[in-house]
Amino acid sequence: MPTEKTDKTLEIIHYPHPALRHKSKPIRRVDAELHQIVRQMFSRMYDARGIGLAANQVHLPLRLFVVNLTAEPDEGEEHVFINPVITLPRGSEEMEEGCLSLPELYGQVRRPKQIRLLAYNLRGQEVRLDLEGMLARVVQHETDHLDGVLFPDRMDVAAREELDYELRDLERTFQQRRQQGEIPDNAGIARELSDWEARYC
């Protein structure tokens, strides 16, 4: 059973939580607890009606993300990608993106249309997939998360400015929650992240 602490650890965090800017290091071991973390990530993602979730969105500095394009727990295919690397970008396509860490925000983002993904699954098997369409898009968005990059960073400056008001609103909410003691200070967050890294990276 997850401990109360683990459970709280896996809440989805919102911009501008500093863990969203953390560059995750590769995972070097997979154990029973990591399997449990992945199950909880799927469950958080479904609760939030999302199709992808990166580990640092539940403030774990681990290089993995989960995807289910249907957003439904009993439908579609569940993907777990560990230590993903994107190669062979081809073409270019603009699509609207959103993010569970930037609630209510949407923007047009230009990215390669096709990519090759190299990663590992939870069984430690190497995965090599040539992707296009929605899965290629989600994989690029989630891999960006693992490098501390959020979708507005990829937008045209002019389009991004239209999100400024909402971004400032999220910043205010974050500061309020922190003043109420719901979010640790930066040193506390950094300590928590480095504890996880010591165990898995």
Provide the binding-site residues for Co ion, judged by CB under 5 A: 99
Q: Which residue do the tokens 């309020």 mark?
A: 176
Nearer to Co ion, 99 or 135 (CB): 99
Bond before 16 cis per omega within 30 degrees:
yes
- Shortest Å distance, C-beta 50 to Co ion: 8
**Among 142, 161, 166, 171, the one annotated catalytic:** 142
Least Cβ distance, residue 101 to Co ion (angstroms):
6
* Comparison of 30 and 109: residue with beta carbon closer to Co ion: 109
C-alpha–C-alpha distance, residues 110 and 127, integer Å: 25
Smallest gap from residue 181 Cβ to Co ion (A): 26
Strand partners, 65: 54, 81
Residue ranges in the chain assigned as alpha helix (H) = 4-9, 32-47, 133-146, 157-161, 164-179, 186-200
Mapped onto helix, strand or coil, the DSSP state of residue 35 is helix
Q: How far is the CB of 179 from Co ion (least distance, A)?
A: 26
Instruction: Tell me which residue of 87, 81, 85 sits closest to 124, measured CA to CA.
Output: 81
Please say which residue, 66 or 99, places its beta carbon nearer to Co ion. 99
Toward Co ion, which CB reaches closer, 30 or 58? 58
Which whole-number Å values give the CA distances from 93 to 36, 140, 184, in the listed order?
36, 12, 39
134: number of CA atoms within 13 Å, CB side? 8
Q: Using the minimum distance from each CB to Co ion, give the nearer residue, 99 or 131.
A: 99
Of 62, 54, 50, 55, which is closest to residue 25 (Cα–Cα)? 62
Residue number with the shortest CB distance to Co ion?
99
Q: Least Å distance between CB 138 and Co ion?
A: 9
Q: Is 142 a catalytic residue?
A: yes
Which residues are identified as catalytic?
A: 142
